[in-house]
Amino acid sequence: MGAPGAGKGTQADTIKHKYSVAHISTGDILRANVKAGTELGKNAKVYMNAGKLVPDEIIIGMVEKRLQEPDCKEGFMLDGFPRTTPQAEALDKLLRKLGLALDAVVELDVSDEVVVGRLTTRRGCKSCGEIYNTVSKPTKVDGVCDKCGGPVVQRDDDKEEVIRKRLAVYHSQTAPLIDYYRAQGLLITVDATGGKDIVLKTLEQKKANQ
């Protein structure tokens, strides 16, 4: 868990390779199901095309199917899900059904101002998806991807006014979720303002002491 720009994707990618666990992003699952034209994907596309949020039962159905794939047998990591208390309750029910359980819920804690600073300087390649930052990881040639030569641009949702709206939604939805998992003794809060290696080391130490 963490606000937009807290570093969830960065940490998830590192943990996935270091510990050989399946990285489950509901956004990725959603896009894959829509692209493959599955029944779940078709149902989700109706809502997406109408600009509405995909209902929890469709997301949970996708997660249930994903958790039963072979690469999840050695462990899995959920990225960006659940986002609300009803989703967390539905996930608990699903995990009981599958005979599984969460052993930790990680909250990457970072201030709104740090998030705004990180995201307004983030850029992405339109061709290959490589991520850059105008401060910490600039392209060698302005606006040109180092990897593939494609155009590097700022996403519309990385503009300050949009970021602040996304943060407001995150805080309103996530505050109850933090309390929900704290009450279960699962929550590990990590200061995510440092470099990615420091954040991971802190997380590993806190998990060992959980």
Q: Are 127 and 150 in contact (CB under 8 A)?
A: yes
Q: Which residue in the list 16, 31, 45, 166 is annotated as catalytic?
A: 166
Indicate if 123 belongs to the active site.
no
Q: What is the spatial distance between Cα 160 and Cα 198, in angstroms, rounded to a whole number?
A: 27
Indicate if 31 belongs to the active site.
no
Indicate if 66 belongs to the active site.
no
Q: What is the spatial distance between Cα 200 and Cα 82, in angstroms, rounded to a whole number?
A: 21
Q: Which residue in the list 8, 66, 118, 123 is annotated as catalytic?
A: 8
Helix (H, G, I), strand (E, B) or coil at 98: helix
Q: Which residue in the list 65, 96, 137, 155 is annotated as catalytic?
A: 155
Indicate if 164 belongs to the active site.
no
Indicate if 83 belongs to the active site.
yes
CA angle 170, 189, 104 (to 5 degrees): 95
Q: Are 157 and 167 in contact (CB under 8 A)?
A: no
Q: Which residue in the list 66, 118, 122, 123 is annotated as catalytic?
A: 122
Number of H-type helices and E-type strands within the chain: 8, 7
Residues labelled catalytic = 8, 83, 122, 155, 166
